[in-house]
Amino acid sequence: MVDNRRQDRVGTLIQRELSELIQRSVKDPRVEFCTVTQAEVSSDLKYVDVKVSVIGDEAQKDNTLAGLKSAAGFLRREIGRRLTLRYSPELRFTLDESVDYLMKIDGLLKSIEAEDETPENLSAEPTTSGAQSAPTDS
């Protein structure tokens, strides 16, 4: 069994190598605007779940995943050549939605901040009721 430290080290190495390979060696225009954000290695070092962040709409994200899946054999072979592992791990690509989630949260926070900065309607000031006087018998 492989310890977690080795999994983390191998994952970091694979992430670094994949980033470089995608930017410099893959000629597919569909993968131009993607970034490898995480590479999580299985305990037997035979599979790698690679999370990528893509700039663009849903169609662009789907095209990028298709491009990465078509280049997976080339990338796997190059990873096997560059790293000294017993097995060249199978690459499984998924989208990293954390960047989109952060952008959504940022937009919500900015809208809340904009609402707080708008001047309040002065005519809607609450009225304070004064002390009521007791009726006098005269």
Instruction: State pLDDT tens for residues 46-77.
Output: 999 999 999 888 999 999 999 999 999 999 99
Q: Nearest-CA neighbor of 39 among 105, 86, 83? A: 83
**Domain assignment present for 121:** no
The 10s digit of each residue's pLDDT in 79-101 is 999 998 888 999 999 999 887 78
According to DSSP, the residues that pair with 39 across neighbouring strands are: 50
Question: Does any domain span residue 81?
Answer: yes
Q: Report the number of distinct structural domains present in the chain.
A: 1
| CA–CA distance, 96 with 53 (Å, rounded to integer) | 5
User: Domain limits at 68?
Assistant: 4-112
Predicted pLDDT of residue 120: 61
DSSP for 15-66, please give it: HHHHHHHHHHT---GGGTTEEEEEEEE-TTSSEEEEEEEE-S-HHHHHHHHH
The pTM for the full model equals 0.72
Q: Tell me the three state secondary structure of residue 107.
A: helix
